[in-house]
Amino acid sequence: MNGPDPREKHPMAGFPQVCFIKNTVKNPNIVIGDYTYYDDPDDSENFERLVLYHYPFVGDKLILGKFCALARGVRFIMNGANHKMSGLSTFPFSIFGNGWEKVQPAMADLPMRGDTVVGNDVWIGYEALIMPGVRIGNGAIVASRSTVVKAIPPYEIWGGNPAVKLRSRFAPEEVARLEAIAWWDWPIAAVTEHLPLIVGGDLDALQAVSDKIRPTGRGT
């Protein structure tokens, strides 16, 4: 077998709280990689309700990589939450119309922060909050109930409100090697075959396999 079918909504028999959310999200501005799951006993399929202020006219995207683990209550605040701050009032008069639309702000007046991008093999804990435009690197971990307001480099653990770096998971040279190996881009048969190495601690052995699968040792 080559692992669970990435097209399945609920890959664990008897546990509908776990959902491969790529198969349930309809919004074209939410892009999700294979095997990324959301765990929620209330409604694991309705992940889109956790992506807040995501208005289509803004055009920003939420991009989640492969093999991410999202705990219950994770939320993503998107750029539609932003108000104009260059004037004396921040109240969004224009959205209510009836004569107030005459102060419609230009998109350039809003504090846009771009797409929110989460890498591969990222673990985001219970009720964590990710703010607009944040980028989270491969292999990072976000602690429960953290508020992430700035970029998290690969393979670092962050927590708190606002979240700060708690520690690195690996030495810088090891992180560089893991980024180059990019096991999440291997054929799924190779991932399945070499799971003991992927979840183990022998980086040299994983590197040796990667060099055979992808001779350059680089991710795609």
More confident residue, 21 or 217: 21
Indicate which residues carry an active-site annotation.
83
**Which residues belong to CATH 2.160.10.10 in the chain?**
18-169
**Mean pLDDT (whole number) for 5-14:** 91
pLDDT in tens, 60-116: 999 999 999 999 999 999 998 988 888 889 898 888 989 898 888 777 777 889 999
Reported residue count of the chain is 220
pLDDT of 220 strictly over 60: no
- Give burial (CB, 10 Å; 0-12/13-18/19+) of 69: middle
Give the pLDDT confidence score for residue 25 in this predicted structure: 97
- Cβ atoms of 46 and 30 closer than 8 Å: no
pLDDT in tens, 103-154: 887 777 778 899 999 999 999 999 999 999 999 999 999 999 999 999 999 9
| CATH number of this structure's domain 18-169, picked from the four choices 1.20.1250.20, 2.60.120.10, 3.10.20.340, 2.160.10.10 | 2.160.10.10
pTM score of the predicted model? 0.91
The tokens for 191 are: 């991932």
Q: What is the C-alpha separation between 29 and 49, in angstroms, rounded?
A: 14
